[in-house]
């Protein structure tokens, strides 16, 4: 027993001997670390096997870069993190070893004595924890771990180099390229230990790939491939190599790289995509050979789920041969045969939509864009363009389709009966052919569905059958099951007809206030067309009522042809309205002046009675002015003045400052609105209303017109004219229903309609700091609740600000970055709350006042963050005191309390925030020396900022915090240094 006690004492982490180091290294390795490394390997295998790359884009070097794969293996990685923390907690040796007095120290001895961690194995536990956090997707935690690790092992180049390499990877995965570049630049100034070269090869490859410098990335990626031990990962890296070479235009090298992928015998999906990629980078003279290869791939049952990619590759080959027609046919075939409805189909539809856009087939482009926008990731570089084009086409296509339909119907009305019936019969035959193709596609989908569901029939009989019938197609969720999608579309169209994909599609009045804009602006002919369109998908029971509802009968089409003069007039109204709106959209939103000219000049030539002909002249004047054709522009200006002398468009073009307004009018209107808003805030309502009147004359169609009207209404309200205010709010709602102010104006109108009265008044942010609740001012019910001066309570650092005075998102980003880079082993939570119009950003996690003040002082030293907080109010406060602000006490009240009770206190100069709680140890001779320049020794006078000045000085000092003791463990003899830098290989 005595021997065991002696051994236990000798192996304690408080002792730093060869026996204790050997014992704790051995125990950490074969106990907690071993279990953690097994969990890490299991998590890595789970992520490797479950990962699905998006091969339509550049695949990431690390699988954690895929959003869909980021959660794979999380449970195992969490176990590895827990085990690594336990190993560090139980086996960390920070005490300096005893050195024989008088013994000479070599340079190696000096380095060894200056270490902060003496367990020679424990760096692997730190590395395991950081890598597990990295592959789990917790990049901020991983960055904190590696940053602390690099400081802990700053005297050991091999470990330091590994930690800095992984720190740079964490920054790269988060997109913090500036921080990653700083780490890389600092490491380049130092000599790199050979044992850290492998990690830095990965880091350089990842960095240059993410920054788009593919030329520099390729040599490092080649080294990464040579380092790689995992076959599947090596195949991914070769595929990435092929993508980089293809992006640089080196097709032969790309083709070799893709061949190397296949040689690795990777999973089928990766091998398939490598073969597809080979067809795209093949030599131009091998197009026919590659097309035959793709056709064989399409006929294989193994590729039935990849047909969209095969026909996409075919289309690319045709497009490279400048055969646009066959390329479009191949893309359309891939769209029809696609069964996955994933990213691959989205890329195909985007390419097809771009072709239709270039060929000005806008209806087809809208169809492709509309479906692609729901399949592609918003992080794509071309997603913004896709979204903009889709929005414009949603506005344009209904007008050009209306023009096309009415032109066709009027042409049929002018035909003789025989020719007309022949044309209608051709439409019916085409419709039947299309329906047959759709039925065949649906039957094929049902066949695939049935074959995939057959093994699950027995199981489904015992499971709740309320799920969708087609939910089990392959491994697709029911959102992407084409059978269910088609059935859903059919059911919706049978019930509602064909509707635009817009918000509130079922509402005629889309304004906030009921009763405004409720008239149905559609003509009787338009409503009849809608009814006819809805009847296309009417159920058979409804179609039996009349042959006019059956699109397979001539009567259905004859009923829509405008034979009478009234029907022809209604058709002309629809047609000219479509021409006008299409012409304006072509000019203003697509900058296609040729198509705009075609539409608008047709109105001038054929529809002289159009009620908005003056506006047509105006737009034609602008069109020819932009084309630098002054003669044509002057012609339409003269027509506008002669035919419409009192039109608003005539007054606009007759303004002597028109050209100046057209050139810099946007900036002038913005400046005028800024001055108007400032005058309104300052209470100069007459000046604000004068500016509103001026804007109506100068900028009647300006982008800020709704804001001018809104401010005009509020200014009149402050002058006492509530009815005029209500009229202005109504004008905003009716004329600008899409404006951000429309909802606010509508709420005011609804309040008045509900019987409430409008009142004047202003809101001043300055009053908030002195504002307290009425209960607190007038009642004794909370008199017992007062501010507490307990310095050992939980404290917070608070930033209070007006929402529009601070760049909140940037401040949050900068603050989070400051926290995890400056306080490596403490996690401070950041929260934002809205309290009566004031936003408060709260930084929590401080155990006492001293910690919060040390944090605040370090934060004020960050110039970038200090600039962001310039307009905010900063203070330190306990949780209990924060709850009282606004409930009996104001911010100003707390400032006075702080200046009296907290500002005079002396604060510990010990670094309270830099050491992890779980490995906190008794300070020894290696602890940092406290500066002696301050007269107060370990304490110095507490000044939070220049706005709070202490009135008195309290000479009492704080009690020292109790020191956390470490668990005692057994020890043995010295650890073998030859094995010190060995780590997990292959992951």
- What residues contact 901, with CB distance under 8 A and at least 6 apart? 787, 789
- Per the model's pLDDT, the better-predicted residue between 766 and 730 turns out to be 730
Q: Is the pLDDT of residue 541 over 50?
A: no
- pLDDT the model gives residue 494: 57
Q: What CA–CA distance (Å, rounded) separates 332 from 249?
A: 27
Yes or no: say if 986 and 230 are a contact pair by the CB < 8 Å rule: yes
**Where does CATH 1.25.40.10 sit in the chain?**
9-97+110-258, 565-648, 659-760
Q: What CA–CA distance (Å, rounded) separates 88 from 913?
A: 19
What class does CATH assign to 565-648?
Answer: mainly alpha
- pLDDT the model gives residue 284: 63
**pLDDT digit string (tens) for 45-93?**
999 999 988 888 899 999 998 888 888 999 999 999 999 999 999 888 8
Written as six digits, the tokens of 800 are: 């209070």
Alpha carbons within 13 angstroms on the beta-carbon side of residue 728 total 23
Residue 199 φ then ψ, to 5°: -65, -40
Written as six digits, the tokens of 639 are: 């027509």
Yes or no: say if 828 and 815 are a contact pair by the CB < 8 Å rule: no
DSSP 549: G
Residue range 674-699: mean pLDDT, rounded: 87
- For 698-717, give the DSSP string: H-TT-TTHHHHHHHHHHHHH
Count of residues making up the chain: 987
- pLDDT the model gives residue 664: 66
Q: What CA–CA distance (Å, rounded) separates 541 from 316?
A: 46
Q: At what angle do helices 34-50 and 122-136 cross, to 10 degrees?
A: 30
Give, for 122, the enclosing helix (H) or strand (E): helix 122-136
Residue range 658-681: mean pLDDT, rounded: 80
- Per the model's pLDDT, the better-predicted residue between 248 and 950 turns out to be 248
Q: How confident is the model at residue 6 (pLDDT cuts 50, 70, 90)?
A: very low
Written as six digits, the tokens of 959 are: 């009690």
Q: Does domain 659-760 have CATH number 1.25.40.10?
A: yes
Q: At what angle do helices 417-453 and 482-496 cross, to 10 degrees?
A: 140
- Per the model's pLDDT, the better-predicted residue between 26 and 959 turns out to be 26
Q: Is the pLDDT of residue 376 over 50?
A: yes
Q: What CA–CA distance (Å, rounded) separates 95 from 905?
A: 33
The residue among 613, 653, 651, 647 whose CA lies nearest residue 633 is 653
- pLDDT the model gives residue 69: 87
The structural architecture, per CATH, of the domain 9-97+110-258 is: Alpha Horseshoe (1.25)
- For 811-830, give the DSSP string: HHHHHHHHHHHH-TT---EE
Q: Is the pLDDT of residue 107 over 90?
A: no
DSSP 930: P
The residue among 846, 836, 835 whose CA lies nearest residue 876 is 846
Q: In 3-state terms, what secondary structure has residue 607? A: coil
Most confident of the following: 379-383, 467-471, 794-798: 794-798
Written as six digits, the tokens of 571 are: 């058709």
**pLDDT digit string (tens) for 451-491?**
555 544 443 443 343 343 444 444 445 555 555 665 676 66
Written as six digits, the tokens of 830 are: 């950041």
The residue among 969, 968, 964, 962 whose CA lies nearest residue 921 is 964
Q: What CA–CA distance (Å, rounded) separates 401 from 702?
A: 30
Opening angle at CA 896, ends 894 and 902, nearest 5: 80
The rounded radius of gyration (Å) of the Cα atoms in the chain is 37
Among the residue ranges 167-176, 275-284, 915-924, the one predicted with the least confidence is 915-924
DSSP 683: T
Yes or no: say if 753 and 858 are a contact pair by the CB < 8 Å rule: no
Written as six digits, the tokens of 191 are: 């000599």
Q: How confident is the model at residue 613 (pLDDT cuts 50, 70, 90)?
A: very high
> What residues does 799 pair with on adjacent strands?
841, 874
Q: Is the pLDDT of residue 924 over 50?
A: no
Q: What CA–CA distance (Å, rounded) separates 28 from 83?
A: 10
**Dihedral angle computed from the Cα positions of residues 627, 629, 635 and 637, in that order, rounded to the nearest 10 degrees:** 50
3-state secondary structure 312-327: HHHHHHHHHCCCHHHH
- Per the model's pLDDT, the better-predicted residue between 814 and 930 turns out to be 814
**Where does CATH 3.30.70 sit in the chain?**
795-902
Among the residue ranges 51-65, 100-114, 191-205, the one predicted with the least confidence is 100-114
**pLDDT digit string (tens) for 871-907?**
889 999 999 899 888 777 888 889 889 988 888 888 7
Residue range 902-918: mean pLDDT, rounded: 71
Opening angle at CA 932, ends 928 and 937, nearest 5: 100
Q: How confident is the model at residue 810 (pLDDT cuts 50, 70, 90)?
A: confident
In the CATH hierarchy, which fold is given to the domain comprising 795-902? Alpha-Beta Plaits (3.30.70)
Yes or no: say if 970 and 17 are a contact pair by the CB < 8 Å rule: no
Q: Is the pLDDT of residue 978 over 60?
A: no
Q: How confident is the model at residue 539 (pLDDT cuts 50, 70, 90)?
A: very low
Q: In 3-state terms, what secondary structure has residue 939? A: strand
Bridging pattern class, strands 795-801 and 873-878? antiparallel
Q: How confident is the model at residue 986 (pLDDT cuts 50, 70, 90)?
A: low
**pLDDT digit string (tens) for 707-716?**
999 998 888 8
Q: What CA–CA distance (Å, rounded) separates 768 from 384?
A: 40
Average pLDDT score over the chain: 79
Adjacency order of strands within the sheet including 795-801: 829-835, 838-846, 795-801, 873-878
Residue range 509-519: mean pLDDT, rounded: 52
CA 48 to chain centre: 25
Q: Which runs of E-coded beta strand occur in 719-828?
A: 795-801
Q: What CA–CA distance (Å, rounded) separates 483 from 470?
A: 7
Percent of the chain at pLDDT > 90 equals 31
Q: What CA–CA distance (Å, rounded) separates 228 from 236?
A: 11
Q: How confident is the model at residue 358 (pLDDT cuts 50, 70, 90)?
A: very high
């Amino acid at each position: 027993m005595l021997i065991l006690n002696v051994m236990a004492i000798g192996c304690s982490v408080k002792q730093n001997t060869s026996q204790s180091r050997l014992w704790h290294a051995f125990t950490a390795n074969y106990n907690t670390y071993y279990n953690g490394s097994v969990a890490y390997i299991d998590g890595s295998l789970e992520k490797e096997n479950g990962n699905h790359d998006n091969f339509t884009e550049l695949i990431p070097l690390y699988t954690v870069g895929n959003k869909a794969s980021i959660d794979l293996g999380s449970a195992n990685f969490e176990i590895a993190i827990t085990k690594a923390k336990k190993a560090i907690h139980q086996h960390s040796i920070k005490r300096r070893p005893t050195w024989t007095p008088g013994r000479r120290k070599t340079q190696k001895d000096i380095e060894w004595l200056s270490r902060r961690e003496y367990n020679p194995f424990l760096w692997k536990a730190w590395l395991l924890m950081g890598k597990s956090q990295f592959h789990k997707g917790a990049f901020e935690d991983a960055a904190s771990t590696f940053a602390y690790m690099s400081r802990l092992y700053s005297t050991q180049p091999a470990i330091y180099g590994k930690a800095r390499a992984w720190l740079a990877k964490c920054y790269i995965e988060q997109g913090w390229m500036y921080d990653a570049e700083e780490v890389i630049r600092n490491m380049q100034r130092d000599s790199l230990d050979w044992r850290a070269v492998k990690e830095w090869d990965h880091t350089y490859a990842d960095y240059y790939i993410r920054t788009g410098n593919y030329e520099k990335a390729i040599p490092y990626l080649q080294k990464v491939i040579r380092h790689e031990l995992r076959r599947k990962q090596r195949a991914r890296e070769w595929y990435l190599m092929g993508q980089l070479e293809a992006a640089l235009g080196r097709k032969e090298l790309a083709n070799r790289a893709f061949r190397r992928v296949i040689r690795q015998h990777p999973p089928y999906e990766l091998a398939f995509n490598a073969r597809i990629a080979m067809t795209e980078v093949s030599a131009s003279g091998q197009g026919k050979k590659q097309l035959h290869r793709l056709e064989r791939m399409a006929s294989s049952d193994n590729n039935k789920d990849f047909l969209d990619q095969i026909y996409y590759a075919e289309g690319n080959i045709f497009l490279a041969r400048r055969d646009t027609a066959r390329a479009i046919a191949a893309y359309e075939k891939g769209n029809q045969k696609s069964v996955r409805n994933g990213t691959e189909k989205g890329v195909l539809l985007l390419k097809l939509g771009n072709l239709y856009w270039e060929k000005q087939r806008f209806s087809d482009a809208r169809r492709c864009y509309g479906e692609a926008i729901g399949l592609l990731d918003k992080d794509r570089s071309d997603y913004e363009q896709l979204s903009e084009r889709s929005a414009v086409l949603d506005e344009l296509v209904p007008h050009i389709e209306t023009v096309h339909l009415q032109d066709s119907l009027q042409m049929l009305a002018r035909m003789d009966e025989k020719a007309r019936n022949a044309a209608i019969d051709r439409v019916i035959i085409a419709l039947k052919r299309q329906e047959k193709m759709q039925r065949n596609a649906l039957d094929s989908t049902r066949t695939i569905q049935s074959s995939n569901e057959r093994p699950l029939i027995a199981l489904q009989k015992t499971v709740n059958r309320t799920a969708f019938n087609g939910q089990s197609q392959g491994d697709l969720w029911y959102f992407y099951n084409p059978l269910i999608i088609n059935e859903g579309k059919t059911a919706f169209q049978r019930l509602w007809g064909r509707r635009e994909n817009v918000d509130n599609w079922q509402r005629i009045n889309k304004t906030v206030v009921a009763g405004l804009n409720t008239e149905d602006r559609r003509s009787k002919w338009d409503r009849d067309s809608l009814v006819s369109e809805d009847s296309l998908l009417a159920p058979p029971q409804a179609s039996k009522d009349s042959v006019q509802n059956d699109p397979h009968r001539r009567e259905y089409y004859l009923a829509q042809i405008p034979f009478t003069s009234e029907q022809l007039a209604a058709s002309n109204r629809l047609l000219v309205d479509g021409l006008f709106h299409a012409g304006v959209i072509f000019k203003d939103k697509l900058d296609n002046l040729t198509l705009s000219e075609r539409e608008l000049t047709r109105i001038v030539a054929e529809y002289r009675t159009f009620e908005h002909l003056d506006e047509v002249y105006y737009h034609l004047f602008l069109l020819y002015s932009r084309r630098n054709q002054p003669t044509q522009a002057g012609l339409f200006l003269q027509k506008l003045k002669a035919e419409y002398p009192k039109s608003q468009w005539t007054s606009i073009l007759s303004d002597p400052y028109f050209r100046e307004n057209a050139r810099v009018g946007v900036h002038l209107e913005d400046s005028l609105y800024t001055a108007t808003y400032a005058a309104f805030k300052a209470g100069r309502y007459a000046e604000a209303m004068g500016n509103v009147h001026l804007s109506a004359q100068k900028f009647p169609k300006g982008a800020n017109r709704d804001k001018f009207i809104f401010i005009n209404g509020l200014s009149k309200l402050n002058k006492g004219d509530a009815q005029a205010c209500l009229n202005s709010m109504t004008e905003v709602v009716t004329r600008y229903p899409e404006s951000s102010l429309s909802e606010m104006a509508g709420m005011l109108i609804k309040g008045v309609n509900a019987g409430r009265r409008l009142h004047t008044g202003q809101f001043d942010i300055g009053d908030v700091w002195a504002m307290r609740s009425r209960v607190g001012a007038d009642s004794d019910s909370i008199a017992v609740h007062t501010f507490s001066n307990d310095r050992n309570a939980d404290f917070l650092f608070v930033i209070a600000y007006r929402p529009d005075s601070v760049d909140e998102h940037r401040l949050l980003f900068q603050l989070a970055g400051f926290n995890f880079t400056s306080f490596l082993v403490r996690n401070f939570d950041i929260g934002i709350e809205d309290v009566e119009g004031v936003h408060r950003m709260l930084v929590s996690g401080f155990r006492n006042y001293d910690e919060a003040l040390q944090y605040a002082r370090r934060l004020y030293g960050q110039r970038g963050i200090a600039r962001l907080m310039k307009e905010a109010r900063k203070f330190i406060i306990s949780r209990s005191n924060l709850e009282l602000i606004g409930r009996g006490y104001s911010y100003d009240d707390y400032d006075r309390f702080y200046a009296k009770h907290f500002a005079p206190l002396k604060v510990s100069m010990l670094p309270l925030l830099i050491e992890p709680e779980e490995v906190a140890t008794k300070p020894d001779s290696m602890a940092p020396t406290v500066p002696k320049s301050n007269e107060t020794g370990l304490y110095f006078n507490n000044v939070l900022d220049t706005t709070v000045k202490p009135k008195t000085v309290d000479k009492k000092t704080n009690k020292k915090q109790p020191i956390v003791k470490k668990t005692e463990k057994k020890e043995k003899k010295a650890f073998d240094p030859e094995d010190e830098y060995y780590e997990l290989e292959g992951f």
